[in-house]
Amino acid sequence: MTYTYHYSSPLGGITLSSNGTELTGLWFDGQKYFGSTLLKKCEEKSLPIFEQSMLWLDIYFSGQAPDFTPPLRMQTTPFRKAVWEILLTIPFGKTMTYGEIAQRIVNQKGLSKMSPQAVGGAVGHNAISLIIPCHRVVGKNGNLTGYAGGIEKKVQLLILEKTDMSSFFVPK
């Protein structure tokens, strides 16, 4: 069974999903790929995993870095999971480029090269936004691109984290 719960954030509604013990999804309502891991039959229910996730969100939206990660279940391909695990290592208030992530995959897997565009596809399909911080990934020249929740939210999240925005380009 898949369970859902709703959270009201300063940036809009968020839908959370769980298998009952682990968080399986977290999306801004209406974002691209919304509900990509949801089964057709879901039950809205208050669960300890949602309480833990909402505590994480409360701390995050207060401008602080949460010191824990709720239990996560990444329901995805092995490649996307490898990318998402790298995203989990990006510190609060910092960013990483698609190319840097690609290089880490190259080093981990012993490959000769990896396309930053392939990484971008994996980042864009992140089903557990915010906690797996895909908003911290930027283009090689500081382009703020590719956030499924929208560029405006990406900018707001980076500002919330007090990220140095001086070298970033925000597309119009």
Question: Model confidence over 120-172: pLDDT tens digits?
Answer: 999 999 999 999 999 999 998 888 987 888 899 999 999 999 999 998 988 77
Question: Which residues are identified as catalytic?
Answer: 134
Structure tokens given for 18: 């769980």
Q: How far is CA 68 from CA 76, 97, 108, in A?
A: 22, 24, 25
Report helix, strand or coil for 108: helix
Note whether 27 and 129 are within 8 A (CB).
yes
106 Cβ contact partners less than 8 Å away, ≥ 6 residues apart: 112, 113, 114
Paired residues of 13 in beta bridges: 8
Structure tokens given for 143: 């382009």
Q: Give the tens place of pLDDT for each residue, 27-86.
A: 998 887 777 777 678 899 999 999 999 999 999 999 999 999 999 999 999 999 999 999
CA distance 26 to 14: 7
pTM for this one?
0.93
CA distance 11 to 1: 29
160 Cβ contact partners less than 8 Å away, ≥ 6 residues apart: 60, 61, 63
Nearest to 119 by CA among 79, 155, 75, 150: 79
> What is the distance, to the nearest Å, from the Cα of residue 166 to the centroid of all Cα atoms in its chain?
23
Mean pLDDT over the full length of the chain:
93
Note whether 16 and 23 are within 8 A (CB).
yes
pLDDT computed for residue 46 by the predictor = 96
Phi and psi torsions of 44, nearest 5° = -80, 125
Helix (H) or strand (E) holding 4: strand 2-9
